[in-house]
Structure 1
């Protein structure tokens, strides 16, 4: 085996075991030995992107395109990088080029949907959003049945939450109109949401992933938006269980100003290193006096500082978290499931958003198009949480001043 092919083998072996660092090293050696290889440049770009090195990744995708101007997949990957950096217009242009070269590109169509949704083109964006179900990593339906087309029928429908907990809470707004069109609705969802959603939707059969289920039709939960249209802000559609609220009353009742905090999302999320801001970033907010600070951070890697009350060992599911949130005057969190819980409950929530955040928050603005009680505090530069936290501190000072004036 030649030296070149040896490094190629090492690169693919590293990729197979999800060792992106070693894959990047190996592909870099391949590009050094064969600088005219567009494939090597493209694969090095993918490895660097997975390591959170977007600018180096983008340069390698550009190099691949320069070597092979007809290369569609490098344009798709470059568009994804640009979208992730908040360069939505540039992302759209390069993804459109990719789709002209390869109209059948599933990843290209999926990336195009994210661009359109971020720009607020709901009709076209949601149409292309369905291509997510064709991706290799897409979750498979839990039941063998035809896909529901949204039309009324008297039979049974299985709705399944195919993405994260936050997505499930966000798109739970569509469950009532779906149920009104069918005879029976079964929801397959994350175990952490079972208790809360059984209280919110007592007429539904709600089961955790992996449960045996039979139904005459099925539909992914996130596909309901395309069937019913985008509602925009709604009245509260998630409520805490009164029994759980009563159970927390001895600990949380009172007139003192209470702020709940989280600082980290699910570490398994591919963007978590960028969307989570870390406990130390909250220092400007925790410096305020006269506030009762409460940690809502589950699975924390370390304990919060002494001025923060920590009940998280009792937050065993979202039914408990919702009960605690019902007592709070404000919640401050990254873009996590907690943000969607607060929005669905119509509780005041300030969300720190990474640069190039998720499509549902748009490109700019402080208001959420989905949740009227939510304020958005956006990063202005990659990895810099100083500005959004400083803006939160100013907003908190103003909020406390208004409270004292009442």
Structure 2
């Protein structure tokens, strides 16, 4: 853990976000930014002089681009509204699987993709993850709901509205392609035990939000009566709809955790043997999400 992340854990929020800017020099972060800009026929070198560092953006256009994973995009999207309050035009490049959800939640942004070119001159650019630093965020912001899930879904019947059992959503494994996947993940029997303990014996129906469950996990679904939602989860609008219909979500540190908390569903986040500033908490209550609690497992 670097100094900036430690500062964010310790409550020195402004210092932490300032130090977090050092990540922009990392080769993998710089390469990702280059790929984003090239998709618009531009290069990072051309755009570097336009990087926003807190100047007054009123009546100007700022291009905000994604960085790192889906969970970070969901977490840091909370800072789009205070940016908009500075009376600027926000041109947002969202990841494909988040685009429709963000369009419904942050309608004040204009959305960019290679087939939807911008119609205004860009004065500034910023990574989404740089917004809190240059907005001068100085304290934890315990957000309630700030992302709007779709109310309707063509496969809504996958959840039985006639069943009065409590609905509990589960996600236990991180993206296998990420460096921290192993340290974040637990197994299905463990999360089922956690879920039953959390529900305290109440009659519950379990729903899996795990993408690409293994054959062994599917066998356990049948044994434990877990409903598999993966076939209906094509993008995060789908995921948000079904998460919004849960009474509780129990999940490891993944995009599902951030999304469930961001739409206001009561969420329990299970952290393995690692501290994580995004899930900083006081006696188990998240400092960043009003509807999230955190447990070490």
TM-score w.r.t. the length of structure 2 is: 0.82
Deviation at 1:112, TM superposition (A): 1.5
Q: Write the deviation string for residues 172-210 of structure 1: whole angstroms up to 9, x where unpaired.
A: 111112123244211112111011111112232224589
Q: Which runs of 4+ in 1 moved over 4 A?
A: 208-214, 285-289
Q: Name the structure 2 match of 1:127.
A: 18
Contact 1:258–1:293, Cα closer than 8 Å, also in 2 = yes
In the alignment, which of 161, 165, 175 is matched to residue 70 of structure 2?
Answer: 165
Distance 1:174 1:131, change over 3 A: same
Contact 1:169–1:340, Cα closer than 8 Å, also in 2 = yes
Q: Write the deviation string for residues 241-263 of structure 1: whole angstroms up to 9, x where unpaired.
A: 2233x851573424321001011
Contact 1:148–1:217, Cα closer than 8 Å, also in 2 = yes
Question: 1:181 aligned to 2:86?
Answer: yes
Q: 1:312 and 1:135 mapped to 2: Cα distance?
A: 34
Contact 1:157–1:182, Cα closer than 8 Å, also in 2 = no
Q: Which has the larger radius of gyration?
A: 1
Q: Name the structure 1 match of 2:207.
A: 294
Distance 1:243 1:284, change over 3 A: closer
Q: Name the structure 2 match of 1:149.
A: 53
Deviation at 1:346, TM superposition (A): 1.6
Q: Name the structure 2 match of 1:274.
A: 183
- Identify unmatched segments of 5+ residues in structure 1: 1-82, 84-110, 379-387, 389-406
- Identify unmatched segments of 5+ residues in structure 2: none
SS of match in other structure, 1:305: helix
Q: 1:134 and 1:346 mapped to 2: Cα distance?
A: 35
In the alignment, which of 98, 115, 133 is matched to residue 226 of structure 1?
Answer: 133
Q: Name the structure 1 match of 2:236.
A: 318
Q: 1:359 and 1:199 mapped to 2: Cα distance?
A: 28
Deviation at 1:160, TM superposition (A): 0.9
Distance 1:283 1:259, change over 3 A: closer
Contact 2:280–2:288, Cα closer than 8 Å, also in 1 = no
In the alignment, which of 263, 279, 285 is matched to residue 345 of structure 1?
Answer: 263
Contact 1:332–1:351, Cα closer than 8 Å, also in 2 = yes
In the alignment, which of 247, 252, 256 is matched to residue 329 of structure 1?
Answer: 247
Judge which range, 146-155 or 125-134, deviates more.
146-155
SS of match in other structure, 2:159: helix
The 5 A counterparts of 1:54-203 are 83=1, 111-138=2-29, 139-140=32-33, 142=37, 144-145=46-47, 146-150=50-54, 151-203=56-108
Q: 1:199 and 1:187 mapped to 2: Cα distance?
A: 13
Deviation at 1:335, TM superposition (A): 0.2
Q: Write the deviation string for residues 340-368 of structure 1: whole angstroms up to 9, x where unpaired.
A: 00111121011110222322223873111
Q: Which has the higher strand share?
A: 2
Distance 1:242 1:184, change over 3 A: same
Contact 2:184–2:272, Cα closer than 8 Å, also in 1 = yes
Deviation at 1:374, TM superposition (A): 0.9
Question: 1:256 aligned to 2:165?
Answer: yes
Q: 2:114 and 2:147 mapped to 1: Cα distance?
A: 21
Question: 1:235 aligned to 2:153?
Answer: no
Judge which range, 228-237 or 278-287, deviates more.
278-287
Q: 2:158 and 2:221 mapped to 1: Cα distance?
A: 23
Q: Name the structure 2 match of 1:305.
A: 221
If asked which structure has higher relative contact order (CA below 8 Å, sep 6+), I would say: 2
The 5 A counterparts of 1:23-38 are none
- Cα root mean square deviation, aligned: 2.4
TM-score w.r.t. the length of structure 1 is: 0.61
Aligned length: 269
Q: 2:287 and 2:61 mapped to 1: Cα distance?
A: 32
Contact 1:353–1:377, Cα closer than 8 Å, also in 2 = yes
Deviation at 1:231, TM superposition (A): 4.7
